[in-house]
Chains A and B, each alone.
Chain A
Amino acid sequence: MHHNKLQKIFIALIASSVIWPLLAQTAEDVVVSAAQNSDLHARVLAASCAACHGTNGNAVTGSNENRNAILAGRDANDFTTIMLGFKDGSREATVMHHHAKGLTEDEIRQLAVYFSKQKPTGAVLLKPQTLKAYHE
């Protein structure tokens, strides 16, 4: 299937440009780049959006109908306006109002900054496989 090729390209990208430079970092680098408390809060909160919007906002863009919005690289102001619309009910939603209403305005602004800084890298649509006979 054509997804296969796409997968390979993404993997090659990920392997060459993201993982290896990171692995080359030392402990000092890691400690120096110590996250602020607010960054820690935002990274975990943002990551809980991944179930629907992908890792760091890179949603899977499978078949057109099956796609959820890509949040990576979104303009922070647009993002904030949309989320506040979900929060106050002025923007139509099937599910986002139930998420946005639970967040504070400050958290929405933190998320806006977080996602605006993420690179739109694309995401892999996973290919399923045949269940093996010896699996439980």
Chain B
Amino acid sequence: MEKTTVVVIGGGSTGVGILRDLAMRGVDVLLLEKRDMVNGTSSRYHGLLHSGARYVVKDQEAARECIEENIILRKIGKSCVEATEGLFIRLPEDDEAFEEKWVAGCKNSGISAIPITPQEAWQLEPNLSSRLVAAYRVPDAAIDGFRMAWQNIDSAKRYGGRVKTYTEVIRVVSENGKVTGVEVRKFFTNETYFIACDFVINAAGPWSGQIAALAGLEVHVQPDKGTLIAFNQRMTSRIVNRLHVPSDGDIFVPHGSITILGTTSMSVKDPEDTSSSFLEIESLLKIGEKTFENLRKYRILRAFAGSRPLYSSSGGIGRGASRGFVILNHAAEGLYGFITITGGKFTTYRLMAEKLTDMVCQELHITAPCRTAEEPLIQDVPENVKQQARKYFPAYGTVLAANRLGGERFERVVKRLENSPQERQLVCECENVTVAEIKEVISEGTSHTVNDIRRKTRMGMGTCQGIFCSLRSVGILSQYEMAAEKQGSIEQLQNFLQSRFKGIRPVLWGNALREIEIARGIYGVGLNVNGGKPKC
């Protein structure tokens, strides 16, 4: 029988943070994720490493947590953070009294907010609204959620932490008021089995209410869906926030060559609901074009949505409910060994993990201190490896690839490129992803679908949204027995194309419409992906 001391449920930022912290303190820990890592909110989010400035008026404590963690994550996760800085801008229609409270709040929370003139703001960001009346610089940054989670796992693995993906917890098992393990189901085979453990950590984000229910407990977590729009340009090199009471559609975050606008806020029944509608997009554009007047001229790549895990002990909903996090030790309710951690933000994931791990370690009588704030997630890529890599990557591609792969994996990829010229071919031309990188990721054994590969390599995330690289990646993935056993190539291709279409459907005009015509032509007509037996 499989055994571990602690089972962590959920492969989002909260879960991986806990996995790393427990492993670093020497605890035997296994993380279970029902799909691929970062399947939930931690990739369906805005990617803003908050300075805390957004919260200073309403919640000073949250603001302070943000700025502290902001500084820590820049240090331990260098290659995940793009230190863009942020602007808060006030438009004539935004309440002037709020600005005063906000300035005072920043001061109280220790967040630097440097006032600049509108002229200076336009100089920094020429596309900003010509109507802005006040502007401040704050230490916001952009953070890559996929990468951050990956690096946490890589780090945890070095300390013996383990991960099982495509493994869904379907039952929490207890005896005499004490957790004894979990029953899980494997996604591709539906096989179920039991894993024994002493502690179960419910870190399932917006699903954490559902997980608590598996243990017969009630935790009020209201999934609150937010839709975001990704534009294919960097219309701003800084994060831009509206200086008013936090509201829908008022933040722009640049990431690499794209910009993300968000978000809406809407209570949903089920966190699996990640659909976005035309209406939501239209309302975001309407608000967004106040900040960037020429917003509609920019090309939209896709829309996506995720659910915030909003915790309420009293049942408040929407943006008003608390964004601070809670840790609920259910021993108090008669189930020893079951702990829920929910709410919070991506920005504070490490702090959340630290507090939770402190609690578990206390139960286990472990005194090792938390070191997650000091030790970098991954080693830097050595200069000589980068030098070697320059032979195979286009100039700008070397740094990008080194950042996304991290030291060890990058070295292995470079070795592949060196040894086999065939693997130098680009699979994804938009994001410069080579055969070598894809093969390396597949060979790690945790990628079973094209979407899994996409998340790890960025393949299919660029301008063409997978239209030209889908067949290639399915072709390569199918060469591996392990993957081919799980899903046929047609199913892989259909699922991948559908997942890309889902994000394009609510923004289906302009270039997107033209590209969907091509995608339907290539895969629907030319490749007859719907298949079927010929009648003759």
Interaction A to B: no
Point out residues on B near A: beta carbons under 8 Å.
none
Write the residues of chain A forming the contact surface with B, with a CB cutoff of 8 angstroms: none
